[in-house]
Structure 1
Amino acid sequence: MQRDVLLEPSEGPAFAVRRPSGTSDVVLVCEHASKTMPVALKTLGLDTAALESHIAWDIGAARVAERLSDQLDATLVMQRFSRLAYDCNRPPEAPDAFPARSEVFEVPGNRGLNAEERARRTEALYIPFHAAIDQLLDARLAAGRNLVLVTVHSFTPVYYGKPRDGHLGILHDADSRLADAMLAVSAETGLAGVSRNYPYGPEDGVTHTLIRHGLTRQIANVMLEIRNDLIAEEAGQALWADRIETLLRGALDRLDHEGGRRHA
Protein backbone atom coordinates (compact mmCIF):
# COMPACT_ATOMS: atom_id res chain seq x y z
CA MET A 1 0.00 0.00 0.00
CA GLN A 2 1.32 3.43 -0.94
CA ARG A 3 2.22 5.64 2.00
CA ASP A 4 0.31 8.92 2.40
CA VAL A 5 2.42 11.88 1.34
CA LEU A 6 3.22 14.51 3.93
CA LEU A 7 3.34 17.61 1.73
CA GLU A 8 0.59 18.69 -0.63
CA PRO A 9 1.68 20.14 -4.00
CA SER A 10 0.44 23.57 -2.88
CA GLU A 11 3.00 23.58 -0.05
CA GLY A 12 5.93 23.45 -2.44
CA PRO A 13 9.18 21.51 -2.11
CA ALA A 14 11.02 20.73 1.12
CA PHE A 15 13.91 23.03 0.29
CA ALA A 16 14.70 26.36 -1.33
CA VAL A 17 17.87 27.32 -3.19
CA ARG A 18 19.15 30.89 -3.27
CA ARG A 19 21.68 31.94 -5.92
CA PRO A 20 21.78 28.51 -7.61
CA SER A 21 24.46 29.75 -10.02
CA GLY A 22 26.56 31.41 -7.32
CA THR A 23 30.20 31.89 -8.26
CA SER A 24 31.64 31.52 -4.75
CA ASP A 25 33.29 28.28 -3.69
CA VAL A 26 31.37 28.62 -0.41
CA VAL A 27 28.20 26.51 -0.24
CA LEU A 28 25.81 27.60 2.52
CA VAL A 29 23.23 25.40 4.24
CA CYS A 30 20.53 26.39 6.74
CA GLU A 31 18.78 23.31 8.11
CA HIS A 32 16.58 25.18 10.61
CA ALA A 33 15.60 28.16 8.47
CA SER A 34 11.83 27.94 8.83
CA LYS A 35 9.10 27.64 11.45
CA THR A 36 6.48 26.58 8.88
CA MET A 37 4.66 23.37 9.76
CA PRO A 38 3.41 20.97 7.08
CA VAL A 39 -0.36 21.35 6.95
CA ALA A 40 -0.87 17.63 7.62
CA LEU A 41 0.89 17.92 10.99
CA LYS A 42 -1.21 20.89 12.13
CA THR A 43 0.44 22.23 15.32
CA LEU A 44 1.78 18.94 16.76
CA GLY A 45 -0.24 19.88 19.85
CA LEU A 46 1.78 23.04 20.55
CA ASP A 47 0.57 26.56 21.21
CA THR A 48 1.52 29.62 19.19
CA ALA A 49 4.28 30.68 21.58
CA ALA A 50 6.04 27.34 21.22
CA LEU A 51 5.66 27.34 17.43
CA GLU A 52 7.26 30.80 17.27
CA SER A 53 10.12 29.88 19.60
CA HIS A 54 13.60 28.42 19.12
CA ILE A 55 12.30 24.86 19.33
CA ALA A 56 10.63 25.34 15.94
CA TRP A 57 13.47 27.08 14.09
CA ASP A 58 16.78 28.91 14.42
CA ILE A 59 15.65 32.50 14.86
CA GLY A 60 17.56 34.89 12.60
CA ALA A 61 19.71 32.20 11.00
CA ALA A 62 18.00 32.25 7.60
CA ARG A 63 18.29 36.04 7.30
CA VAL A 64 22.01 35.93 8.12
CA ALA A 65 22.50 33.05 5.66
CA GLU A 66 20.65 34.96 2.93
CA ARG A 67 22.81 38.04 3.47
CA LEU A 68 25.94 35.91 3.32
CA SER A 69 24.66 34.29 0.14
CA ASP A 70 24.20 37.68 -1.50
CA GLN A 71 27.44 39.21 -0.21
CA LEU A 72 29.56 36.21 -1.24
CA ASP A 73 27.52 35.23 -4.32
CA ALA A 74 27.27 31.82 -2.66
CA THR A 75 24.59 29.21 -3.25
CA LEU A 76 22.40 28.62 -0.19
CA VAL A 77 20.20 25.57 0.43
CA MET A 78 17.49 26.09 3.07
CA GLN A 79 14.94 23.73 4.59
CA ARG A 80 11.43 25.21 4.17
CA PHE A 81 9.75 23.43 7.08
CA SER A 82 10.15 23.38 10.83
CA ARG A 83 12.67 21.17 12.56
CA LEU A 84 9.77 19.96 14.72
CA ALA A 85 8.50 18.06 11.68
CA TYR A 86 12.01 16.74 10.96
CA ASP A 87 15.34 18.05 12.23
CA CYS A 88 17.43 17.91 9.06
CA ASN A 89 20.67 18.10 11.06
CA ARG A 90 19.97 14.60 12.35
CA PRO A 91 20.02 11.23 10.56
CA PRO A 92 16.73 9.30 10.34
CA GLU A 93 17.77 6.84 13.04
CA ALA A 94 18.43 9.59 15.62
CA PRO A 95 15.75 9.82 18.34
CA ASP A 96 15.83 13.63 18.18
CA ALA A 97 15.21 13.74 14.43
CA PHE A 98 11.58 14.02 15.58
CA PRO A 99 11.96 15.68 19.01
CA ALA A 100 9.30 14.66 21.52
CA ARG A 101 10.71 17.14 24.03
CA SER A 102 12.76 20.30 23.53
CA GLU A 103 14.02 21.97 26.71
CA VAL A 104 10.83 22.98 28.59
CA PHE A 105 8.41 22.04 25.80
CA GLU A 106 6.74 18.68 25.32
CA VAL A 107 5.82 17.99 21.68
CA PRO A 108 2.70 15.78 21.82
CA GLY A 109 2.55 15.22 18.06
CA ASN A 110 6.04 13.70 18.06
CA ARG A 111 5.47 11.32 20.94
CA GLY A 112 5.55 7.62 20.13
CA LEU A 113 5.85 7.94 16.36
CA ASN A 114 5.62 4.63 14.56
CA ALA A 115 8.00 3.54 11.81
CA GLU A 116 5.55 4.48 9.06
CA GLU A 117 5.19 8.07 10.25
CA ARG A 118 8.93 8.46 10.71
CA ALA A 119 9.43 7.16 7.17
CA ARG A 120 6.76 9.51 5.78
CA ARG A 121 8.48 12.55 7.24
CA THR A 122 11.93 11.32 6.26
CA GLU A 123 10.87 10.84 2.64
CA ALA A 124 9.15 14.23 2.45
CA LEU A 125 11.65 16.44 4.29
CA TYR A 126 15.05 14.86 4.94
CA ILE A 127 15.71 12.97 1.71
CA PRO A 128 14.93 15.77 -0.79
CA PHE A 129 16.78 18.39 1.27
CA HIS A 130 19.98 16.39 1.54
CA ALA A 131 19.69 15.12 -2.03
CA ALA A 132 19.69 18.74 -3.21
CA ILE A 133 22.92 19.38 -1.29
CA ASP A 134 24.45 16.14 -2.62
CA GLN A 135 23.67 17.07 -6.21
CA LEU A 136 24.98 20.61 -5.83
CA LEU A 137 28.27 19.57 -4.24
CA ASP A 138 28.89 16.66 -6.59
CA ALA A 139 28.24 18.74 -9.71
CA ARG A 140 30.60 21.48 -8.59
CA LEU A 141 33.32 19.09 -7.49
CA ALA A 142 33.07 17.36 -10.87
CA ALA A 143 33.58 20.78 -12.48
CA GLY A 144 36.79 21.23 -10.50
CA ARG A 145 35.49 23.70 -7.92
CA ASN A 146 37.44 23.94 -4.65
CA LEU A 147 34.47 24.00 -2.29
CA VAL A 148 33.91 24.70 1.37
CA LEU A 149 30.69 23.92 3.26
CA VAL A 150 29.26 26.34 5.84
CA THR A 151 26.08 25.67 7.84
CA VAL A 152 24.34 28.53 9.67
CA HIS A 153 22.47 28.15 12.97
CA SER A 154 21.46 30.16 16.03
CA PHE A 155 21.27 29.35 19.73
CA THR A 156 19.35 30.72 22.71
CA PRO A 157 20.94 33.19 25.17
CA VAL A 158 19.58 31.16 28.10
CA TYR A 159 19.42 27.35 28.29
CA TYR A 160 17.78 25.58 31.22
CA GLY A 161 18.04 28.82 33.18
CA LYS A 162 21.77 29.29 32.56
CA PRO A 163 22.97 32.32 30.57
CA ARG A 164 25.17 31.82 27.54
CA ASP A 165 27.55 34.73 27.20
CA GLY A 166 29.24 33.75 23.93
CA HIS A 167 28.31 35.42 20.66
CA LEU A 168 29.47 33.02 17.97
CA GLY A 169 30.31 29.34 18.04
CA ILE A 170 32.56 27.86 15.36
CA LEU A 171 31.93 24.11 15.32
CA HIS A 172 33.66 21.25 13.59
CA ASP A 173 33.83 17.48 13.63
CA ALA A 174 36.97 15.54 12.62
CA ASP A 175 37.98 18.13 10.01
CA SER A 176 38.94 21.35 11.82
CA ARG A 177 40.70 23.11 8.91
CA LEU A 178 38.14 25.83 8.30
CA ALA A 179 37.25 26.22 11.98
CA ASP A 180 40.92 26.61 12.90
CA ALA A 181 41.40 29.27 10.24
CA MET A 182 38.27 31.21 11.24
CA LEU A 183 39.27 31.13 14.90
CA ALA A 184 42.72 32.40 13.99
CA VAL A 185 41.22 35.29 12.01
CA SER A 186 38.83 36.14 14.86
CA ALA A 187 41.78 36.32 17.26
CA GLU A 188 43.74 38.52 14.85
CA THR A 189 40.83 40.92 14.35
CA GLY A 190 39.91 41.06 18.04
CA LEU A 191 36.34 39.84 17.56
CA ALA A 192 35.06 39.05 21.05
CA GLY A 193 32.78 36.22 22.12
CA VAL A 194 33.95 33.65 19.56
CA SER A 195 34.57 30.08 20.76
CA ARG A 196 35.31 26.62 19.37
CA ASN A 197 32.52 24.01 19.53
CA TYR A 198 30.19 26.33 21.45
CA PRO A 199 27.53 26.01 22.77
CA TYR A 200 27.56 22.43 21.45
CA GLY A 201 30.13 20.07 20.04
CA PRO A 202 30.30 16.92 17.93
CA GLU A 203 29.66 14.79 21.01
CA ASP A 204 26.16 16.33 21.12
CA GLY A 205 25.25 14.90 17.71
CA VAL A 206 24.98 18.28 15.98
CA THR A 207 27.43 17.72 13.11
CA HIS A 208 25.37 15.40 10.91
CA THR A 209 25.31 17.75 7.92
CA LEU A 210 29.06 18.35 8.18
CA ILE A 211 29.72 14.60 8.31
CA ARG A 212 27.33 13.63 5.52
CA HIS A 213 28.37 16.32 3.06
CA GLY A 214 31.76 17.62 4.16
CA LEU A 215 33.74 14.78 5.69
CA THR A 216 32.60 12.22 3.13
CA ARG A 217 33.87 14.44 0.30
CA GLN A 218 36.92 15.68 2.21
CA ILE A 219 35.97 19.32 1.68
CA ALA A 220 36.64 21.89 4.41
CA ASN A 221 33.52 22.51 6.47
CA VAL A 222 32.25 24.41 9.49
CA MET A 223 29.03 24.92 11.45
CA LEU A 224 28.28 28.43 12.74
CA GLU A 225 26.12 29.10 15.81
CA ILE A 226 25.10 32.73 16.47
CA ARG A 227 23.30 33.76 19.67
CA ASN A 228 19.80 34.49 18.50
CA ASP A 229 19.14 37.68 20.47
CA LEU A 230 21.99 39.24 18.48
CA ILE A 231 20.32 38.47 15.13
CA ALA A 232 16.62 38.78 15.93
CA GLU A 233 16.41 42.13 14.10
CA GLU A 234 17.65 43.33 10.72
CA ALA A 235 20.50 45.48 12.08
CA GLY A 236 22.00 42.56 13.98
CA GLN A 237 21.58 40.25 11.02
CA ALA A 238 23.48 42.68 8.82
CA LEU A 239 26.21 43.17 11.43
CA TRP A 240 26.81 39.45 11.93
CA ALA A 241 26.66 38.66 8.23
CA ASP A 242 29.42 41.25 7.75
CA ARG A 243 31.47 39.82 10.62
CA ILE A 244 31.13 36.26 9.39
CA GLU A 245 31.97 37.32 5.84
CA THR A 246 35.19 38.88 7.17
CA LEU A 247 36.06 35.70 9.08
CA LEU A 248 35.28 33.47 6.11
CA ARG A 249 37.23 35.50 3.56
CA GLY A 250 40.20 35.72 5.90
CA ALA A 251 40.04 32.01 6.68
CA LEU A 252 39.88 31.03 3.02
CA ASP A 253 42.87 33.24 2.26
CA ARG A 254 44.79 31.47 5.05
CA LEU A 255 43.83 28.02 3.81
CA ASP A 256 44.73 28.87 0.23
CA HIS A 257 48.10 30.25 1.32
CA GLU A 258 48.78 27.08 3.31
CA GLY A 259 47.33 24.76 0.66
CA GLY A 260 44.83 23.50 3.23
CA ARG A 261 41.61 23.90 1.27
CA ARG A 262 42.31 21.39 -1.48
CA HIS A 263 40.23 18.26 -1.12
CA ALA A 264 41.77 14.83 -1.62
Structure 2
Amino acid sequence: MPRTTTASFPSVELHNRSGKGPVVILCEHASPDIPEPYHDLGLDPAHRFSHAAWDPGARDVAMALSRALDAPLVASRVSRLVYDCNRPPEAASAMPERSEVVDVPGNRNLTEAQRAQRIESVYRPFCTAVTQRLEERAASHLPTALITVHSFTPDYHGKPRTVEIGILHDADRRLADAMLAQSHRLAHRQIRRNDPYGPEDGVTHSLKLHGIGHGLANVMIEIRNDLLGTPADASTMADELLLLIEPALAELGFEIPIRGDAHDA
Protein backbone atom coordinates (compact mmCIF):
# COMPACT_ATOMS: atom_id res chain seq x y z
CA MET A 1 0.00 0.00 0.00
CA PRO A 2 1.49 3.41 -0.90
CA ARG A 3 2.33 5.77 1.89
CA THR A 4 0.20 8.85 2.44
CA THR A 5 2.02 12.03 3.41
CA THR A 6 1.27 15.71 3.34
CA ALA A 7 3.32 18.45 1.74
CA SER A 8 3.51 20.29 5.05
CA PHE A 9 4.72 17.24 7.00
CA PRO A 10 7.11 15.27 4.76
CA SER A 11 8.54 13.48 7.81
CA VAL A 12 5.11 12.12 8.82
CA GLU A 13 3.03 9.34 7.30
CA LEU A 14 -0.75 9.46 7.72
CA HIS A 15 -3.26 6.69 7.03
CA ASN A 16 -7.01 6.52 7.37
CA ARG A 17 -7.13 10.10 8.62
CA SER A 18 -10.93 10.12 8.76
CA GLY A 19 -11.29 6.71 10.42
CA LYS A 20 -14.18 6.64 12.86
CA GLY A 21 -13.06 3.72 15.03
CA PRO A 22 -12.39 4.24 18.74
CA VAL A 23 -8.58 4.39 18.48
CA VAL A 24 -5.76 6.56 17.16
CA ILE A 25 -2.61 4.54 16.48
CA LEU A 26 0.96 5.86 16.61
CA CYS A 27 4.11 4.23 15.28
CA GLU A 28 7.04 6.43 16.22
CA HIS A 29 9.76 4.04 14.97
CA ALA A 30 8.12 2.93 11.74
CA SER A 31 10.99 3.67 9.35
CA PRO A 32 14.77 3.23 9.06
CA ASP A 33 14.99 6.11 6.57
CA ILE A 34 17.79 8.60 7.16
CA PRO A 35 17.46 11.67 4.90
CA GLU A 36 20.42 12.18 2.57
CA PRO A 37 21.80 15.31 4.29
CA TYR A 38 22.60 13.21 7.38
CA HIS A 39 24.96 10.89 5.42
CA ASP A 40 23.62 7.75 7.18
CA LEU A 41 24.81 9.31 10.46
CA GLY A 42 28.14 7.59 9.85
CA LEU A 43 26.66 4.24 10.88
CA ASP A 44 28.48 0.99 10.30
CA PRO A 45 26.67 -0.57 7.29
CA ALA A 46 25.96 -3.65 9.41
CA HIS A 47 23.79 -1.51 11.68
CA ARG A 48 22.14 0.69 9.07
CA PHE A 49 18.87 -1.29 9.04
CA SER A 50 19.14 -2.88 12.48
CA HIS A 51 16.74 -2.47 15.38
CA ALA A 52 18.84 0.49 16.46
CA ALA A 53 17.54 2.44 13.46
CA TRP A 54 13.85 1.46 13.67
CA ASP A 55 11.32 -1.07 15.00
CA PRO A 56 11.16 -3.86 12.38
CA GLY A 57 7.62 -5.08 11.77
CA ALA A 58 5.95 -2.42 13.91
CA ARG A 59 4.57 -0.46 10.95
CA ASP A 60 3.06 -3.60 9.40
CA VAL A 61 1.28 -4.40 12.67
CA ALA A 62 0.14 -0.80 13.07
CA MET A 63 -1.25 -0.77 9.52
CA ALA A 64 -3.17 -4.00 10.12
CA LEU A 65 -4.63 -2.64 13.36
CA SER A 66 -5.55 0.60 11.61
CA ARG A 67 -7.53 -1.33 9.01
CA ALA A 68 -9.23 -3.64 11.52
CA LEU A 69 -10.20 -0.87 13.94
CA ASP A 70 -10.90 1.84 11.33
CA ALA A 71 -8.29 3.88 13.17
CA PRO A 72 -6.21 6.84 12.02
CA LEU A 73 -2.50 5.99 12.02
CA VAL A 74 0.32 8.50 12.47
CA ALA A 75 3.82 7.15 11.78
CA SER A 76 7.24 8.73 11.54
CA ARG A 77 9.00 8.40 8.18
CA VAL A 78 12.44 9.12 9.69
CA SER A 79 14.78 6.83 11.63
CA ARG A 80 14.67 7.19 15.37
CA LEU A 81 18.44 7.74 15.28
CA VAL A 82 17.83 11.08 13.56
CA TYR A 83 15.15 11.91 16.13
CA ASP A 84 13.20 9.51 18.36
CA CYS A 85 9.61 10.79 18.35
CA ASN A 86 8.97 8.89 21.58
CA ARG A 87 11.41 11.12 23.46
CA PRO A 88 11.19 14.79 24.49
CA PRO A 89 13.75 17.22 23.06
CA GLU A 90 15.65 17.48 26.33
CA ALA A 91 16.31 13.72 26.52
CA ALA A 92 19.76 12.52 25.49
CA SER A 93 18.10 9.48 23.89
CA ALA A 94 16.15 11.71 21.49
CA MET A 95 19.31 11.90 19.35
CA PRO A 96 21.52 9.20 20.87
CA GLU A 97 25.26 9.01 20.41
CA ARG A 98 25.02 5.28 21.12
CA SER A 99 22.10 2.84 20.96
CA GLU A 100 22.82 -0.39 22.87
CA VAL A 101 26.03 -1.57 21.10
CA VAL A 102 25.65 0.73 18.07
CA ASP A 103 27.72 3.91 17.84
CA VAL A 104 26.08 6.83 16.03
CA PRO A 105 28.94 9.12 14.93
CA GLY A 106 26.57 11.59 13.26
CA ASN A 107 24.97 12.36 16.61
CA ARG A 108 28.18 13.32 18.38
CA ASN A 109 28.78 16.91 19.43
CA LEU A 110 25.59 18.24 17.89
CA THR A 111 25.24 22.00 18.13
CA GLU A 112 22.11 23.60 19.52
CA ALA A 113 21.23 24.68 15.97
CA GLN A 114 21.59 21.12 14.67
CA ARG A 115 19.44 19.74 17.46
CA ALA A 116 16.83 22.44 16.89
CA GLN A 117 16.70 21.61 13.17
CA ARG A 118 15.89 17.97 13.90
CA ILE A 119 13.31 18.90 16.51
CA GLU A 120 11.56 21.24 14.08
CA SER A 121 11.75 18.93 11.04
CA VAL A 122 10.94 15.57 12.67
CA TYR A 123 9.54 15.82 16.21
CA ARG A 124 7.31 18.89 15.95
CA PRO A 125 5.57 17.74 12.74
CA PHE A 126 4.89 14.34 14.28
CA CYS A 127 3.41 15.89 17.42
CA THR A 128 1.38 18.37 15.37
CA ALA A 129 -0.03 15.59 13.19
CA VAL A 130 -1.09 13.63 16.29
CA THR A 131 -2.62 16.69 17.95
CA GLN A 132 -4.55 17.55 14.80
CA ARG A 133 -6.02 14.03 14.63
CA LEU A 134 -7.04 14.16 18.28
CA GLU A 135 -8.54 17.65 18.01
CA GLU A 136 -10.48 16.73 14.86
CA ARG A 137 -11.92 13.71 16.65
CA ALA A 138 -12.77 15.71 19.76
CA ALA A 139 -14.58 18.28 17.60
CA SER A 140 -16.56 15.42 16.03
CA HIS A 141 -17.31 13.94 19.47
CA LEU A 142 -15.57 10.67 18.63
CA PRO A 143 -14.54 8.71 21.75
CA THR A 144 -10.83 7.97 21.46
CA ALA A 145 -8.18 5.74 23.00
CA LEU A 146 -4.48 5.93 22.06
CA ILE A 147 -2.34 2.92 21.10
CA THR A 148 1.35 3.11 20.22
CA VAL A 149 3.01 0.15 18.45
CA HIS A 150 6.66 -0.86 18.85
CA SER A 151 8.93 -3.87 18.48
CA PHE A 152 12.00 -4.92 20.46
CA THR A 153 15.05 -7.06 19.87
CA PRO A 154 15.09 -10.67 21.20
CA ASP A 155 18.55 -10.13 22.72
CA TYR A 156 19.66 -7.05 24.63
CA HIS A 157 23.31 -6.63 25.60
CA GLY A 158 23.73 -10.35 25.00
CA LYS A 159 20.84 -11.42 27.23
CA PRO A 160 17.86 -13.23 25.65
CA ARG A 161 14.37 -11.93 26.34
CA THR A 162 11.60 -14.44 26.92
CA VAL A 163 8.75 -11.91 26.91
CA GLU A 164 6.97 -11.85 23.55
CA ILE A 165 4.38 -9.10 24.01
CA GLY A 166 4.79 -6.22 26.41
CA ILE A 167 1.78 -4.18 27.55
CA LEU A 168 3.17 -0.86 28.76
CA HIS A 169 1.57 2.01 30.61
CA ASP A 170 2.43 5.04 32.70
CA ALA A 171 0.12 6.56 35.33
CA ASP A 172 -3.04 5.74 33.35
CA ARG A 173 -3.31 1.95 33.37
CA ARG A 174 -6.96 1.55 32.34
CA LEU A 175 -6.40 0.16 28.86
CA ALA A 176 -3.34 -1.86 29.85
CA ASP A 177 -5.24 -3.49 32.72
CA ALA A 178 -8.18 -4.31 30.47
CA MET A 179 -5.88 -5.87 27.84
CA LEU A 180 -3.91 -7.88 30.40
CA ALA A 181 -7.18 -9.23 31.76
CA GLN A 182 -7.67 -10.83 28.31
CA SER A 183 -4.21 -12.42 28.16
CA HIS A 184 -5.72 -15.89 28.63
CA ARG A 185 -6.92 -15.56 25.03
CA LEU A 186 -3.27 -15.80 23.96
CA ALA A 187 -2.18 -18.56 26.32
CA HIS A 188 0.64 -19.52 23.95
CA ARG A 189 2.28 -16.09 24.32
CA GLN A 190 4.50 -14.68 27.05
CA ILE A 191 2.68 -11.42 27.83
CA ARG A 192 3.91 -9.11 30.59
CA ARG A 193 3.24 -5.69 32.06
CA ASN A 194 5.87 -2.96 31.53
CA ASP A 195 8.35 -5.45 30.09
CA PRO A 196 10.90 -5.33 28.45
CA TYR A 197 10.64 -1.60 29.21
CA GLY A 198 8.67 0.55 31.60
CA PRO A 199 8.18 4.20 32.59
CA GLU A 200 11.52 4.20 34.40
CA ASP A 201 13.22 3.66 31.01
CA GLY A 202 11.77 6.86 29.55
CA VAL A 203 9.67 5.07 26.94
CA THR A 204 6.24 6.48 27.85
CA HIS A 205 6.70 9.99 26.46
CA SER A 206 4.03 9.61 23.77
CA LEU A 207 1.61 8.05 26.25
CA LYS A 208 2.03 10.98 28.62
CA LEU A 209 2.04 13.73 26.00
CA HIS A 210 -0.65 12.54 23.62
CA GLY A 211 -2.62 10.14 25.83
CA ILE A 212 -2.64 11.37 29.41
CA GLY A 213 -2.21 14.95 28.19
CA HIS A 214 -5.53 14.68 26.34
CA GLY A 215 -7.29 12.62 28.99
CA LEU A 216 -7.33 9.49 26.80
CA ALA A 217 -7.04 5.86 27.83
CA ASN A 218 -3.74 4.73 26.37
CA VAL A 219 -1.33 1.82 26.01
CA MET A 220 2.00 1.01 24.40
CA ILE A 221 2.38 -2.41 22.76
CA GLU A 222 5.86 -3.91 22.42
CA ILE A 223 6.31 -7.03 20.25
CA ARG A 224 9.48 -9.11 20.05
CA ASN A 225 10.65 -8.57 16.51
CA ASP A 226 11.58 -12.18 15.73
CA LEU A 227 7.81 -12.74 15.69
CA LEU A 228 7.46 -10.16 12.89
CA GLY A 229 9.88 -11.50 10.31
CA THR A 230 7.44 -11.30 7.38
CA PRO A 231 4.31 -9.27 6.54
CA ALA A 232 2.31 -12.47 7.09
CA ASP A 233 3.81 -12.79 10.59
CA ALA A 234 2.86 -9.18 11.32
CA SER A 235 -0.68 -9.80 10.10
CA THR A 236 -0.97 -12.85 12.36
CA MET A 237 0.31 -10.85 15.31
CA ALA A 238 -2.18 -8.06 14.64
CA ASP A 239 -5.00 -10.61 14.65
CA GLU A 240 -3.76 -11.94 17.99
CA LEU A 241 -3.49 -8.45 19.48
CA LEU A 242 -7.07 -7.73 18.47
CA LEU A 243 -8.11 -10.55 20.80
CA LEU A 244 -6.78 -8.36 23.61
CA ILE A 245 -7.62 -4.93 22.25
CA GLU A 246 -11.25 -5.31 21.16
CA PRO A 247 -12.66 -6.75 24.42
CA ALA A 248 -10.53 -4.30 26.40
CA LEU A 249 -12.00 -1.36 24.49
CA ALA A 250 -15.48 -2.76 24.94
CA GLU A 251 -14.90 -3.08 28.68
CA LEU A 252 -13.98 0.60 28.77
CA GLY A 253 -17.19 1.52 26.97
CA PHE A 254 -15.92 2.01 23.42
CA GLU A 255 -17.95 0.82 20.44
CA ILE A 256 -16.00 -1.68 18.33
CA PRO A 257 -16.35 -1.24 14.54
CA ILE A 258 -17.35 -4.05 12.22
CA ARG A 259 -14.22 -5.49 10.67
CA GLY A 260 -13.31 -4.16 7.22
CA ASP A 261 -10.57 -2.39 5.33
CA ALA A 262 -10.10 1.29 5.98
CA HIS A 263 -9.11 3.67 3.21
CA ASP A 264 -6.29 6.20 3.13
CA ALA A 265 -7.33 9.79 3.39
Scaled by the length of structure 2, the TM-score of the pair is 0.91
State the aligned residue count: 249
d(CA) in 2 for partners of 1:48, 1:18 = 31
Who is 2:67 aligned against? 70
- Supply the AA of the counterpart residue of 2:65: L
User: Is the partner of 1:153 in helix, strand or coil?
Assistant: strand
1:13 and 2:10 matched = yes
1:216 and 2:213 matched = yes
**Contact 2:20 2:142 (8 Å CA) reproduced:** no
d(CA) in 2 for partners of 1:191, 1:138 = 39
Structure 2: any 5+ residue segments left out of the alignment?
Answer: 1-5, 255-265
d(CA) in 2 for partners of 1:19, 1:256 = 23
Matches within 5 A, 1:1-264: 13-187=10-184, 190-256=187-253
d(CA) in 1 for partners of 2:225, 2:19 = 27
User: Is the partner of 2:20 in helix, strand or coil?
Assistant: coil
Superposed CA RMSD: 1.7
Larger RCO (CA under 8 A, 6+ residues apart):
2
Runs of 4+ in 1 over 3 A off after TM superposition: 9-12
Judged with a 3 Å threshold, the aligned counterparts in structure 2 of structure 1 residues 239 and 188 are, in CA distance, closer, same or farther, namely closer
Structure 1: any 5+ residue segments left out of the alignment?
Answer: 1-8, 258-264
Higher mean C-alpha displacement, 239-248 vs 155-164? 239-248
**Shift of residue 160, structure 1, vs aligned partner:** 0.5
Higher mean C-alpha displacement, 229-238 vs 96-105? 229-238
d(CA) in 2 for partners of 1:215, 1:133 = 13
Higher mean C-alpha displacement, 17-26 vs 145-154? 17-26
**Shift of residue 73, structure 1, vs aligned partner:** 1.4
Judged with a 3 Å threshold, the aligned counterparts in structure 2 of structure 1 residues 127 and 10 are, in CA distance, closer, same or farther, namely closer
- Supply the AA of the counterpart residue of 2:90: E
- Cα offsets for 1:170-206 (capped at 9, x unmatched): 0000000000000001135535211000100001100
**Contact 2:9 2:125 (8 Å CA) reproduced:** no
Scaled by the length of structure 1, the TM-score of the pair is 0.91
Higher mean C-alpha displacement, 168-177 vs 67-76? 67-76
User: Is the partner of 2:212 in helix, strand or coil?
Assistant: helix
User: Is the partner of 1:179 in helix, strand or coil?
Assistant: helix
- Supply the AA of the counterpart residue of 1:95: A
d(CA) in 1 for partners of 2:55, 2:95 = 16
